[in-house]
Every structure is written in structure tokens, then in C-alpha cells.
A and B are shown apart, each in its own frame.
Chain A
Amino acid sequence: MNIVVCVKQVPDTWAERTLRPADSCLDRASVDGVINELDEYAIEEGLLQAEAHDGEVTILSMGPQKAAESIRKALSMGADKAVHLVDDGLAGSDALGTSLALSTVLARIGFDLVILGAEATDARMGVLPAMLAERLRVPQLSLARKVEIDGNTVTVHRLTEYGYDQVVASLPAVVSVVEKINEPRYPSFKGIMAAKKKPVETLSLADAGIDPAQVGLGAAATEVLSFAKRPPRQAGTIVKDEGDGGSKAAEFLAAQKFI
């Protein structure tokens, strides 16, 4: 079985993240890049499914040169090979452009199953899995907290507010995962050493046959009109309990429209 896991490099979640005033794009250069957290779960699920079904895991990542570090980490976790789509023309792509680029590459390399995190910690759009499935004309199984493959069918437990839905589809399909699904492994030294020898194919827009006019900041259908720094945290309100603490707390919550 041919499993492709899409991996995005995002700025370290713990670091201070800023937008560049010039183009309202995320400043990716000045912070450490890490694998998007949910994508680590996607990689783990890909590896588990590949181990169970004698499959192969390919990492697909679109991103600047720096994303090669994250690809290397995914390979040291155990993925077999990787495709890195890297081109200056991709900078500033929105979800539409990104899904176009990724789906073009996916169609090119072929897949039985595409796995990816349900959203990325930087933009937090959460639309990419749906867009990919639509562009690839395959079923989408989203928010999976459990994946089972039996022959040509994939069944997922889709996380809902009330529990889970059981969703079944035929392969090939796109599955997005949430963090309840598994526990991602840490790269071992053996895995790290082995990753050095694993093939990484680097593709430009031209290599992948993607029209530069349809991706990148220029082609984006969405635009950031303005942005502002998050206001500094306000000191909390202290409610002193003089017998009426409960109702004061309730009043506060009501005033904040929490209840």
C-alpha cells in the first residue's frame, strides 16, 4: 500500500510568531521551524498502517528550503522516502494555491491513502484536507481518531462533539487526523542514521508541472487586509467572597457572555 503523508513545517509553536508588515505573511525566517504538531500524528498513523499492511510511506512537503529539516525528521521517524516541493513562486500561497500544488504532485506520484493533520498550528484554516480530496476526486474522511484498513476499504472514527461517527470509504482516499489517534514516536538514533540514506526528490513548479500563475501570493484568493498585535494580557478580576461570591462569579460570566 502506497501511503503519502503531507507534512508542513510551521514556526515553533512555543516561539513568538509575527507577521511581516510588508506582505502580511508569516515571518518564517526568524523562528525555528518544526513539523506541524498534528502532522506528527499523521506520520505515526502512516507508519503504523504501513507496518500493518506492508506498505510504504512517502512524505510530501511543500515549503522553503528550510523545510528539508522537517522532512529529514519525518524520515528519521521511519518514513521511506520524501518529495519536497520547493519554489520561490510558491511563497504566500493560500489554501487554494497550496491544495492545487499538493494535489498536482499527489496525482503525479500516486497514492492509495493520503494522511494529513486536520489543521496546521500557524494558519489554523483546517480546509486543506477537504480541498485536496475535492481536487483529487477521492473521498475525504476528516478528524479521524482511529483508522482501520481492510482490503480496499478504509473506516475511520470521526471525532464529534458527542463521541464519534463511523465513516467508511473505498481507497484511494484522504484522511485527516486529530491528536487522539495515536502517540507519535521519537526518532531513534538508528532511524536518524538511516534517514541520511533515504531518497528525497526535490521538485520545482516546472518539475511538477504546476502553472506559476495559479499559486503564490499573487494568485491568492484571500487577502490579509490588516492585522494587529494581540493586546497584552489584562490583570484578572478578583472576586472577594462575602457570602455572595457565587452570584458575583455568575454575574461576571454573564457579563462576558460565557453563560
Chain B
Amino acid sequence: MISYRLDEEHEALRDSVADFARQIVAPVIGGYYERGEFPYEIIGRMGKLGLFGLPFPEEYGGMGGDLFALCLALEELARVDSSVAITLEAGVALGAMPIYRFGTAEQRECWLPELCSGERLAAFGLTEPGGGSDIPGGMRTTARLEGQEWVIDGSKSFITNSGTDITSVVTVLAITGGQPAPGRRPEISSVLVPAGTPGLSVGGKYSKVGWCASDTRELAFSGCRVPAGNLLGERGRGYAQFLQILDEGRIAIAALATGLAAGCVTECLRYTDERVAFGHRLGHYQGLRFKLADMEARAHTARLAWYDAAARASAGEPVKRQAAIAKLVASNAAMDNARDATQIFGGYGYMNEYPVARFYRDAKVLEIGEGTSEVQRMIIARELGVTDRD
């Protein structure tokens, strides 16, 4: 029989990040969010705490932990705020992880120490204006080898961490082959593009519904040249690479979503104990107690789903189905809990100064980023062996 009790070390990590989130993030994040400002100060301190190095070995400046440890940190941060959590998630699970997984010893040594310290951030550029779900169908960005250089042309949309002052590198997925044979996928490869490379232009900040203190930008490549040695992993393996990265990324997003769902419960427990209506605390009313019970049940189920997926991934087992289920369930939980929490807070729940309002605005994207909920269902159905054949 298995049990999802954390061992002492993971529990201590969770406590440490929970204290950090409550004491360092919570008091100031509302201001950053309101101003749409990237919280360099908090990110720097998350770096000092070692959060950006969690799943990487000590030889690269990491903490020697695993995906599970990263996910625990994400859940605890997201209980308080999702902008800093997604900055960590995108920086580690999408940004640094491909370099660790597929990079040469030289590439790892070049990029990982700074990324593990949180002094620099990495980004992952997959989505394009023409489509994020349909890769490579919607993909137009190309990289062609010219002598000893890759020349990149095209554009990427919604790329997290790609335009901060401390962004050091973007992993760009691009078509590296010619016209594929009919019915075949084009050749896709990953190329490392250092921030500031001529020919890479970073767009302005998007005006977003939520995640307002995180950095999301459009990238345009026009004759952008990087050394041939910046190819990440084997040429033509880009498709397999990003599928693997996204499997882990989805577990990380599920943990983040669980944090948001659980944060809603915490806020509402406090509020239903304080706020009085018709002569009673809100908690007096069964209608609201049942809402709280449903919210807790959703957060708990979401947590079990990501624990299972992360434990399997950390043990090196296949997780495609479990990761998709965890992301689907947890993002649903986040969305439902955010809606209920805002309802419980009434008018205050609609005011940006209250954390539940931020939760409400931050929840929706969890059903979109790193594979929409429809994409998760497509994966689960495919894993079940059901197809669209007649």
C-alpha cells in the first residue's frame, strides 16, 4: 500500500517555502501585481533560497532535489501568489530543464549555474502566433544552417520570462528541415538563443488578465544568428524533446494550480469566520459550509493527482497519462475554487486588493498554458486507445 505522506526533508522544504511565501511574498506582491511590475527583489530572494536549483544536481549549483521538490515549492508559492510561482515554473521546468536534459556538458556548465542561482532566467519558446496546440501544424519559425551558424526567422508568442533584465537564454523550437514528404512531420530542433542576440527582438509586455507580475512577451526573429554549437540535443529531436519537457511541465502546473485552489480555501476559512451577515458569521450558513467542503475536496484531489504524477516522474516512470490527468483536474479545481472564493467574498472578492481577486484572475490561464484542457483530454483519450477512426 502506498501513502502520500511526505518524508521529513520534503516536509521541511514545504515549511520553508510556506514561511517564505507568507513572510516575503504575501506582504508586497499585491503592489507589483497592480503595477504590472516584475518582482526582481522577490525572485532574487527565491534564488538565494535555492528554489531555481531544486531539481538539479549540486555540481551545477543545484539543490540535489527532484521534480517532486520543485512541485512542492510551486504549490506553496501559489497558495499566496501565482506570478512568482509561474516565473519559477517557467524558469526551471521549461527554461533550465531542457538544457539539463538534452544539453552537452559544455552547454550545461555554460548556462545552468547562473540559472540554478536564480540570478538569470531561462525561457522556452514553443508557441507561435499561428498556434500553440497544433505543433508543428501551426509552426512557421525556421532555423537553417549557414556555415557554422543557425539563422533563425519567425516569431513566438506568449513566452514567459523572455524579456526580463535577467533573462539569459531562450530555447527556441524551430523547423530545421525542408518541405517534409506528404503525411510526414517537418523536422524540428531546439536551438539556444542567448538574450540580446542581434536579430532577436523582444516585444513589449502583453496586457494580461492575470499573472500580472510575471513576464510574458512576443519574440520576433529576423536573420537571428547563433553558433551551430547552440543546437540543443540532436537535430530533428525537437518534437520528442518538447513532449517530454511538457509532461513534466504539466505536473508542475498541476502543483501550482493546487496551490491556488488551496489558497482559496485558506482565504475563505478566515473570511467565513469573520464576516457577519443576518446576525451570523458566514460560516454559520450551511450553503457556504458546503461550498467550502467542495473547495477542500477539489484541492485535495488535485494534490493527490500531482503527487502521484510527480512521484512517478521522479522515479523515472512514464507519466504521460498521469501528467495530463493531474493538469486537467488541478486546473479545474483552481478555476472552480477561484470562482467560489470570489463569490464567498462578495464585493470584496471583486476588488484587486484582495488575494481572492488575484486568484480569480490567475486561475483561467491554468486551463490554457502548457496544453489546454482540450489537449489534456486528447492525450488522456489517446492513452486510453480511443481514436477518431470510424
B-contacting residues, A177-202, CB 8 Å: 185-190, 192-193, 196
Q: Tell me which residues across on chain B come within 8 A of A189, comparing CB atoms.
A: 9, 13, 50, 54, 63-65, 69
Contact B64 A193 (CB under 8 A): yes
- Residue from the list B12, B19, B20, B58 in contact with A192, Cβ < 8 A: B12
Contact A185 B12 (CB under 8 A): no
Whether A73 is near chain B, meaning CB under 8 Å from some CB there, is yes
**Contact A188:B16 (CB < 8 A) given known A193-B9, A193-B64, A196-B9:** yes
Q: Tell me which residues across on chain B come within 8 A of A61, comparing CB atoms.
A: none
Whether A72 is near chain B, meaning CB under 8 Å from some CB there, is yes
Q: Tell me which residues across on chain A come within 8 A of B49, comparing CB atoms.
A: 185-186, 188
B-contacting residues, A36-92, CB 8 Å: 72-73, 76
Contact B20 A188 (CB under 8 A): no
Task: Return the chain A residue nearest B18 by Cβ.
Answer: A186
Q: Tell me which residues across on chain B come within 8 A of A196, comparing CB atoms.
A: 8-9
Give the number of chain B interface residues (Cβ < 8 Å). 17
Task: Return the chain B residue nearest A77 by Cβ.
Answer: B16
Q: Tell me which residues across on chain B come within 8 A of A72, comparing CB atoms.
A: 12
CB distance from B17 to the nearest CB of A (A): 8
Task: Return the chain B residue nearest A72 by Cβ.
Answer: B12
For B7-29 the 0/1 string (1 means CB < 8 A from A) is: 01100110011011000000000
Q: How far is the CA of A72 from the CA of B20 in the complex (A)?
A: 18
Q: How far is the CA of A72 from the CA of B69 in the complex (A)?
A: 19
Q: How far is the CA of A72 from the CA of B11 in the complex (A)?
A: 12
Contact B12 A76 (CB under 8 A): yes
Whether B48 is near chain A, meaning CB under 8 Å from some CB there, is yes
From B8, B13, B58, name the one whose CB has the most chain A CB atoms within 10 angstroms: B13
Q: How far is the CA of A72 from the CA of B15 in the complex (A)?
A: 13
Contact A192 B13 (CB under 8 A): yes
Q: How far is the CA of A72 from the CA of B64 in the complex (A)?
A: 19
Q: How far is the CA of A76 from the CA of B64 in the complex (A)?
A: 15
A-contacting residues, B47-78, CB 8 Å: 48-50, 54, 58, 63-65, 69
- Residue from the list B9, B20, B58 in contact with A186, Cβ < 8 A: B20
Q: How far is the CA of A186 from the CA of B15 in the complex (A)?
A: 10
Contact count band on A: 10 to 19
Q: How far is the CA of A76 from the CA of B13 in the complex (A)?
A: 10
Q: Tell me which residues across on chain A come within 8 A of B69, comparing CB atoms.
A: 189
Q: How far is the CA of A196 from the CA of B10 in the complex (A)?
A: 12
Q: How far is the CA of A76 from the CA of B12 in the complex (A)?
A: 9
CB distance from B268 to the nearest CB of A (A): 19
Q: Tell me which residues across on chain B come within 8 A of A193, comparing CB atoms.
A: 9, 63-64
Q: Tell me which residues across on chain B come within 8 A of A188, comparing CB atoms.
A: 16, 49-50, 63
From A72, A185, A188, A193, name the one whose CB has the most chain B CB atoms within 10 angstroms: A188
Q: Tell me which residues across on chain B come within 8 A of A187, comparing CB atoms.
A: 12-13, 16
Q: Tell me which residues across on chain A come within 8 A of B58, comparing CB atoms.
A: 190
Contact A190 B16 (CB under 8 A): no
CB distance from A150 to the nearest CB of B (A): 27
Q: Tell me which residues across on chain A come within 8 A of B12, comparing CB atoms.
A: 72-73, 76, 187, 192
Q: Tell me which residues across on chain A come within 8 A of B17, comparing CB atoms.
A: 186
**Contact A190:B20 (CB < 8 A) given known A72-B12, A76-B12, A196-B9:** no
Contact A192 B48 (CB under 8 A): no
Q: How far is the CA of A73 from the CA of B8 in the complex (A)?
A: 11
Q: How far is the CA of A187 from the CA of B50 in the complex (A)?
A: 9
Q: How far is the CA of A188 from the CA of B50 in the complex (A)?
A: 6
Q: How far is the CA of A188 from the CA of B63 in the complex (A)?
A: 8
Contact B63 A190 (CB under 8 A): yes
CB distance from B56 to the nearest CB of A (A): 11
CB distance from A204 to the nearest CB of B (A): 25
Q: How far is the CA of A193 from the CA of B65 in the complex (A)?
A: 9
Task: Return the chain B residue nearest A190 by Cβ.
Answer: B63
Task: Return the chain B residue nearest A76 by Cβ.
Answer: B12
Task: Return the chain B residue nearest A189 by Cβ.
Answer: B63
CB distance from B387 to the nearest CB of A (A): 42
Q: Tell me which residues across on chain A come within 8 A of B19, comparing CB atoms.
A: 186
Contact A190 B64 (CB under 8 A): yes
Q: How far is the CA of A190 from the CA of B17 in the complex (A)?
A: 13
Q: How far is the CA of A193 from the CA of B13 in the complex (A)?
A: 10
Q: How far is the CA of A196 from the CA of B12 in the complex (A)?
A: 11
Q: How far is the CA of A73 from the CA of B64 in the complex (A)?
A: 18
Task: Return the chain B residue nearest A194 by Cβ.
Answer: B64
CB distance from B181 to the nearest CB of A (A): 48
Q: Tell me which residues across on chain A come within 8 A of B64, comparing CB atoms.
A: 189-190, 193
Task: Return the chain A residue nearest B66 by Cβ.
Answer: A189
Task: Return the chain B residue nearest A193 by Cβ.
Answer: B9
Task: Return the chain A residue nearest B73 by Cβ.
Answer: A189
Q: How far is the CA of A196 from the CA of B9 in the complex (A)?
A: 9
11 example contacts (A-B, Cβ-Cβ < 8 A) are as follows A185-B48, A186-B17, A187-B16, A188-B50, A189-B50, A189-B63, A189-B69, A190-B50, A190-B64, A193-B9, A196-B9
Q: Which 10 residue pairs are nearest across A and B when measured between Cβ atoms?
A: A188-B50, A189-B63, A192-B12, A190-B63, A187-B16, A189-B65, A186-B16, A186-B20, A189-B13, A186-B49
Given A186-B16, A193-B64, 19 additional A-B pairs, CB 8 A: A72-B12, A73-B12, A76-B12, A185-B48, A185-B49, A186-B20, A188-B16, A188-B49, A188-B50, A189-B50, A189-B65, A189-B69, A190-B58, A192-B9, A192-B16, A193-B9, A193-B63, A196-B8, A196-B9
